[in-house]
Amino acid sequence: MYHLFKRMLLVAVLVAFMLSFAAAASAAPEIKLASVTWTGVTIKTELAMAILESLGYEAENKVLAVPFVYAALDAGDVDAFLGNWMPSMAGIADKFFKKGSVIQYVANMPGAKYTLAVPTFCAEAGLKDFSDIARYGEDLDNQIHGIEAGNDGNLIIRDMIEKNMFDLGKFELVPSSEVAMLAEVQSREKQKRCIVFLGWAPHSMNERIDMTYLTGSTNATFGPNDGTATVWTNIRKGFAEDQPNVAKLFKNMVFPVAMMNQIMTTLYKDKSLTHLQAGLQWVKAHPEAYKGWLEGVTTADGKPAVPAFEAYLKSNL
């Protein structure tokens, strides 16, 4: 009886072990992305999540302010971030790159732009350069309009004010959401009242607003070449080794400025669409894009990636 009991106990332990092993093996790998509330970053992140889910991964998106994105990457709480605008984020991100806890990884969108802008009628009146802003202080209510608190662009503006760069010491930074800032710009444009605001491309604002980017940006502000930027995909230390298949996907995922402008314009014109739906519509119409993203990539269980994503497209559009 004793020996029978031992055998039954051993069998029970083996069965429990096999069941737990099978459950662990069948659990979808989880990939955690960080993003910010900007339209372009949201589109890229949601497209990446859709592809990951089509390939059998669980994908989570944590929406954070920029400084918290890097704190999360540094701590290993998130795996990747597709919105590293450089050089404007250098003041926040560089210390983590130097530390080695965050890997800059791959340029996903060269030829972007991020700097101060004005409605074109203001530029035609003479407000064309950073050095012109202070002269129009009264017309501008001594304000420069930014986006969410803690954003890198806001930090650059605040630094310009605190250091009295371009004689801006009397100015005030007005933080806001992207949507609220652009609504204010459009309101003032209609009233023919000047406003200086954070502008960037790609974004539908470039289609919706008759706007002009200011010249005069320096290494100490939004970088040379009048704010020309490169957007990077960042990953946490060790992610490429932990998840080489997903890392390959992220390395392949590039987003030309023209592509993003088209998606954002579609999103603006058809407000019934979500960011993901607008992105998927563009991707479906441009199969060469997703086939390039999926080159050398498999599903989580090692099967071909393209048929899996095409099945996802068919069922979600």
Number of separate domains in the chain? 2
pTM as predicted: 0.79
3-state secondary structure of 240: helix
Among 198, 228, 258, the domain-final residue is 228
Task: Assess whether 271 and 179 both reside in one domain.
Answer: no
Average pLDDT of the residues in 122-145: 98
Among 197, 212, 228, the domain-final residue is 228
Task: Assess whether 152 and 209 both reside in one domain.
Answer: yes
Task: Assess whether 106 and 245 both reside in one domain.
Answer: yes
Structure tokens at 20: 């737990």
> Does the residue 71 lie in any domain?
yes
Task: Assess whether 186 and 167 both reside in one domain.
Answer: yes
| Confidence grade of residue 244 (pLDDT, cut at 50, 70, 90) | very high
Residue 84 near residue 104, CB atoms below 8 Å: yes
User: What letter does residue 62 receive in the DSSP assignment?
Assistant: E
Residues written for the chain: 317
**Span 23-41, pLDDT tens digits:** 444 467 999 999 999 999 9
The CATH number covering residue 103 comes to 3.40.190.10
In the prediction, which pLDDT does 7 show?
55
Interatomic CA distance for residues 128 and 108, integer angstroms: 30
Interatomic CA distance for residues 105 and 99, integer angstroms: 14
CB-based contacts of 270, cutoff 8 Å, min separation 6: 278
Task: Assess whether 206 and 282 both reside in one domain.
Answer: no
In the prediction, which pLDDT does 2 show?
47
**Span 93-109, pLDDT tens digits:** 999 999 999 999 999 99
Interatomic CA distance for residues 178 and 147, integer angstroms: 5
In the prediction, which pLDDT does 27 show?
67
> Does the residue 302 lie in any domain?
yes
Tell me which residue range forms the domain holding 241: 25-111+229-316
In the prediction, which pLDDT does 13 show?
44
